[in-house]
Amino acid sequence: MAAANQPDHASDQWPLWEVFTQAKDGAPHEHAGSVHAPDAEIALQNARDVYARRGEVVSVWVVPSAAIVASSPEDQGPFFDPADDKPYRHPQFYKTPRGVRVY
Amino acid sequence: MSLHPPPTPDESAAAATFDARIDAGETIEPKDWMPEKYRHQLVRMMSQHAHSEIVGMLPEGNWITRAPSLRRKMCLLAKVQDEAGHGLYIYCATETLGVARAELIDQLLTGKAKYSSIFNYPTLTWADIGVIGWFVDGAAIVNQTVLAKASYGPYARAMVRICKEENFHKRQGYEIVATLADGTPLQRAMVQDAVNRWWWPTLMMFGPSDVNSPNSADLLRWRVKRYSNDELRQRFVDLTVAQAQAVKLTLPDPELRYDAETKHWEFGEIDWAEFKQVISGNGPCNRERLAARRAAHDQGAWVREAAAAFAEKQRRRSAAPAA
């Protein structure tokens, strides 16, 4: 985690942080973009200045980009295919008596 | 002609899959396989776009201290701040293609990178600020509304965000124009003069005509662009003529006429020699704009150093054992 916060001298710029914003109370945080900043506190301020200039944000998260672990596109098939052949996980799979409200 | 070795079978298969995804209207994300040329064209187009937002602050910044009222000053400040934000959105989207922002900014400051030719014209009067909002942001909206459906996800999402904010820019400009057009004969003359100076450079913003646009074919095939330069230019003219009529201003084109059959406004020939001059660095303000950017970057160095020093101090403080 600390490694992600070290300035990246290779490109002579501050580390990258991913920004997630929440549009209103109860909404999920969504990825908005990224900012460069030397530390978390400044990352948060930069994120506010760049992604929340109009009162359309009530909460913001910043995460060092290097700390994010993501599935890779090449594995998309095999990685998600355990869920591909399980129609019984969907309500449409089941027959119920006609004319009854099930939900 | 190609500088690259012929594609391996593996690459051909990946390219075929990529083309099929584009044709199916799918969105390409940063970690997906993409042809090197697609990546390269996107970096070129997106970084030019980001640079344009950043350089675009300069002609307007010129008038912040001389705005005619506090309300106008407040609005212009907000608009210029938005443009800084828009530049940052697009730099951020460009970084997802594996290029560092520092590198892009370096390309701008060394004069290697191109940006929109429109920002190399001077803002001579307050009316120019109104006309820039109306014309230049109006043209940008026509462009960016389409780019919001571009095949590259991070670019499309940045455009959606920008379009939401851009409408205020255009309306504040058009309001200034309408106010001056409704003012004294002197104010009317001032705003008409600004219209006369900005009309043709604005039409050039859409880029070369389709027959002379070296990158258009690729960008259209890969659905980065969805309409040609000429189609977008026509859309802008059709929208703007009515807006000019509404405030009783004329557009400086004797050949402008409505074609009842095509339902489009026909317009005269653009001076492409001027466009080429400005693009290749010889416009009225090219040197001044780059000098201003470089000065801002150099004079801002202390802020970057202070922020880094502050972050370091906080780190040491939080690492120190509690006394």
Q: If we measure between CA atoms, which residue out of B197, B217, B195 comes closest to residue B207?
A: B217
| Residue A89 neighbours by CB distance under 10 Å | 7
The residues near B282 (Cβ < 8 Å, ≥ 6 apart) are none
- Asked if the C-beta of B306 comes within 8 angstroms of chain A's C-beta atoms, the answer is no
Q: Which residues numbered 13-72 in B keep a CB inside 8 Å of some CB on A?
A: 29, 31-33
SS3 of A9, please?
coil
User: Which residues, given as ranges, of chain B have pLDDT below 70?
Assistant: 1-7, 9, 322-323
Cβ neighbours of A37 in B, within 8 Å: 307, 311
| pLDDT reported for residue A6 | 42
pTM (predicted TM-score): 0.90
Check A41 against B314: CB less than 8 A apart.
yes
Contact B310 A42 (CB under 8 A): yes
In the predicted structure, residue A10 carries a pLDDT above the cut 70: no
Contact A13 B102 (CB under 8 A): yes
Contacts of B17 (CB under 8 A, 6+ apart): B33
Cα dihedral: B226, B100, B205, A50 (round 10): 90
Give the tens place of pLDDT for each residue, B109-149. 999 999 999 999 999 999 999 999 999 999 999 999 999 99
Q: How far apart are CA A44 and CA A51, in angstroms?
A: 10
At A29 the three-state DSSP class reads strand
- Where does the pLDDT of residue A91 fall: very low under 50, low under 70, confident under 90, or very high at 90 and above? confident
Residue A62: the pLDDT is 98
Task: Name the token pair of A53.
Answer: 């200039």
Q: What share of chain A is helix, strand, coil (3-state, %, to 5)?
A: 35, 20, 45
Task: Report the DSSP beta bridge partners of residue A59.
Answer: A22
Q: Specify the residue for token string 């945080």.
A: A29
| Contact state of A33 with B165 under an 8 Å Cβ cutoff | no
Burial of A2 (0-12, 13-18, 19+ CB in 10 A): exposed
Measure B140 CA to nearest chain A CA, in Å.
20
Residue pair A12/A36 in contact by the 8 Å Cβ criterion: no
Q: Are B155 and B88 in contact (CB under 8 A)?
A: no
Chain A: closest CA distance from residue B190 (Å): 33
| Helices of type H across B97-152 | 101-109, 126-131, 137-147
Tokens of B227: 């309409």
Residue A72: per-residue pLDDT: 85
Please tell me the distance from the alpha carbon of residue B214 to that of residue B248, in angstroms, as a whole number.
38
Strands B264-266, A29-36: pairing kind? unpaired
- With CA atoms as reference, the chain B residue closest to A35 would be B92
Q: Write the residue in B33, B89, B100 that is nearest to A13 by C-beta.
A: B100
Find the distance separating the first CA and the last CA of chain B, reported in whole Å.
Answer: 70
Looking at residue B7, what is its pLDDT? 64
CA distance A95 to chain B (A): 34
Q: Nearest-CA neighbor of B179 among B133, B138, B121?
A: B133
Task: Compute the distance between CA of residue A41 and CA of residue B309 in angstroms, rounded to an integer.
Answer: 13
Nearest residue in chain B measured CA to CA from A8: B100
Which is it for the CA torsion B16, B221, B55, B211, positive or negative? positive
The radius of gyration of chain A's CA atoms, rounded to the nearest angstrom, is 21
Nearest CA in chain A to B319: A2
Determine contact: B100 vs chain A, CB below 8 A.
yes
What is the pLDDT confidence band of residue A101, given thresholds at 50, 70 and 90?
A: confident
Hey, which residues does A17 pair with through a beta bridge?
A: A35, A64
Question: In angstroms, rounded to a whole number, what is the distance separating the alpha carbons of residues B174 and B304?
Answer: 37
d(CA B213, CA A81): 44
Cα–Cα distance for residue pair B68/B58, rounded to 1 Å: 18
Which residues 19-58 of chain A have a CB within 8 Å of chain B?
Answer: 32-39, 41-42, 49-51, 53-54
Question: How far, in Å, are A14, B7, B49, B158, B225 from residue B54 at the CA level?
Answer: 20, 38, 9, 15, 22
* A11 chain-B contacts, CB cut-off 8 A: 100, 102-103
Tens of pLDDT, residue by residue over A14-72, are 999 999 999 999 999 999 999 999 999 999 999 999 999 988 899 999 999 999 999 88
State pLDDT tens for residues B23-65: 999 999 999 999 999 999 999 999 999 999 999 999 999 999 9
State residue B10's pLDDT score.
Answer: 79
Q: How far apart are CA A51 and CA B262, in angstroms?
A: 42
With H, G, I as helix, E, B as strand and everything else as coil, classify residue A18.
strand
pLDDT value at position B255?
Answer: 97
Asked if residues B43 and B113 have their Cβ atoms less than 8 Å apart, the reply is no
Contact A39 B314 (CB under 8 A): yes
Test the B interface: residue of A6, A21, A36, A79 with most B CBs within 10 Å: A36
> How far apart, in whole angstroms, are the C-alpha atoms of residue A93 and residue A86?
10
Instruction: Write the CB contacts of A73 (distance below 8 Å, at least 6 apart in sequence).
Output: B29, B31, B32, B33
